[in-house]
Structure 1
Amino acid sequence: MQKINRSGLLLLLVFLGIINAVSAQNLDEIISKHIAAMGGAEKLSKLSSMRIAAEMDIMNMKVPITTTIVQNKGFRSETVIQGMTIVQAINGTSGWAINPMSGQTKAVALPEEAVKSMITETDLTGLYNYKEKGYTLTLDGEEDLAGAKVYKVTMTLKNGIRRINYISKDTFYILKIIVQASINGQEIKSENTQSDFRQVDGIYYPFTSEVTTSAMPGATMAIKINTLEVNPKIDESIFAMPN
């Protein structure tokens, strides 16, 4: 009986090893096809900066947003609401904000948890080169997303932030991203549904997004990109916190 149990255990371990190897192979194939669909490794490897001008429609208000990013260095967004400009920025491993709508006319440092969540936005290339970036990926099966068949791929960043990517089995674009993060002691869940993919300088980007967040229950933010610049020259001093 002991010999049978040992043999059975050995077979089980071998079987699990095969399953894990097949899963890893499938995951690598999915990521490879996703990278190709986005424009290819050669293009993504040269992506160093981006400037986006977009308009957000929220609660019947048209809100212009300008976002500037330098790969792995800095992120800055400027949102204009009722004539007032809200600024949020990441500079390396620190962050700051100005919010005149709440009476905050001078820059204040962002809480550590907010920085941890926002710092992921400085990575312009997502799933590309994920192993070298220190990210961990798991293939968590297949699902139906509004009629589209998708792979569910969870990415865990080095700082522990988890992003669930729903990758189309047809186009290999990411159709939806779910991010869960803790901010000010509160668990925040955000969902970003992406569409209208267009090519800019050989790389494909979603020009339309619908965003919901548990921080604003019942509200949907529709975002449309007006212009997107790839590798513009950026003065990195814009990420530094003003005195």
Structure 2
Amino acid sequence: MKLAKILMPALLIGFSSLAHATDADEIISTYHENIGGEDALKAMKGIKIVAEVSQGPMKFPLEIVQQSSGKQYTKATVQGQEIMQGVFDGETLWSTNFMTMKAEKAQTEETENMKLNMNDFPDSLMDYAEKGYQAELMGTESVDGEDTYKVKLVKEPITVEGEEIPSIEYYYFDAESMVLVMMESDIHSGPMKGQVQQIKMSDYQEVDGIYFPFAMTQGIKGQPAATSPLVINEIELNPTVDDSVFAFPAAQ
């Protein structure tokens, strides 16, 4: 697919912006308009991302697929072996175990929490009020020296170790271009429990009339050494994907 190589300075020319945002709804609406419009975003049935992630000196090819139905997977190629992570077919969540290289189903809690996200394509902000979410403008905050609007999004509670806890995400929108430049959320399980996951986005480019960030970093807030840069090479909208790819392997 031919991608338009449009960098942020050129992108800003055609974008509308808000000198003074008044509330979260105005910010979210402007953001969706600036990246292509709600109609175009809602018309998307799926997305396929071909990327490369860096972890220290090593780089791994990634293929990420997400569908409006909630189905999704991430496929990493490590030393010639394909490793599936976060594969979800709408009912079963599974991943490849790095030690045994066998597919393993996620625990019931993790699977049920994943089901809560099935209505969040293309993003959690779309029609947030209709989903029962609450959005609040928290004010302005500097991100890498640039002014941003900080929006708090409260989603359905998730279950962790048998207890319902709030599911909260923070979105940071560049005050000039009104595009998303960072997301933050608490980590509720695993070795990084209690830390804050931080994802930064930049280098917005156009794909079939919709703008996507082609450079991202994911890591732990306050820990630069734990950051994994991600460079996107290609994005395909509405890809054809066989449903069998999402299914838990019947025999191994």
Q: TM-score, normalised by structure 1?
A: 0.81
Correspondence for 2:228:
221
State, as a whole percentage, how many aligned pairs show the same letter: 28
Between stretches 38-47 and 85-94, larger displacement belongs to 85-94
Q: Which has the higher helix share?
A: 1
Cα distance, 1:119 vs structure 2: 6.3
Q: Which has the larger radius of gyration?
A: 1
Partner SS for 2:53: strand
Correspondence for 1:140:
138
Q: Distance in 1 between matches of 2:109 and 2:35?
A: 30
Q: Distance in 2 between matches of 1:154 and 1:211?
A: 19
Correspondence for 1:31:
28
| Equivalent of 1:111 in 103, 107, 111 | 107
Contact 1:195 1:209 in 2 (8 A): yes
Cα distance, 1:210 vs structure 2: 1.1
RMSD of aligned residue pairs (Cα, Å):
2.4
Question: Structure 1, residues 176-217: CA drift from partner, whole Å, max 9, x if none?
Answer: 011213124833421111100011111111000111137x98
Q: Distance in 2 between matches of 1:49 and 1:102?
A: 31
Cα distance, 1:224 vs structure 2: 0.4
Q: TM-score, normalised by structure 2?
A: 0.78
Q: Distance in 1 between matches of 2:173 and 2:210?
A: 17
| Equivalent of 2:177 in 171, 174, 195 | 171
Q: Distance in 2 between matches of 1:112 and 1:59?
A: 33
Q: Distance in 2 between matches of 1:118 and 1:176?
A: 24
Number of residue pairs matched by the alignment: 217
Question: Structure 1, residues 13-47: CA drift from partner, whole Å, max 9, x if none?
Answer: xxxxxxxxxxx962221111111111101101101
* Higher RCO, 1 vs 2 (CA within 8 Å, ≥6 residues apart): 2
Question: Structure 1, residues 50-91: CA drift from partner, whole Å, max 9, x if none?
Answer: 111100111111110101111142110111122232212122
1:131 aligns with 2:137: no
**What are the ranges of 5 or more consecutive residues in structure 2 without an aligned counterpart?**
1-20, 158-165
Cα distance, 1:113 vs structure 2: 4.8
Q: How does 1:1-243 map to 2 (within 5 A)?
A: 26-88=23-85, 89-99=87-97, 101-103=98-100, 105-115=101-111, 116=113, 120=117, 123-159=121-157, 160-184=166-190, 186-213=193-220, 218-243=225-250
Partner SS for 2:176: coil
* Inter-CA distance 118–165: structure 2 relative to 1 (3 Å threshold): farther
Contact 2:202 2:213 in 1 (8 A): yes
Contact 1:113 1:182 in 2 (8 A): no
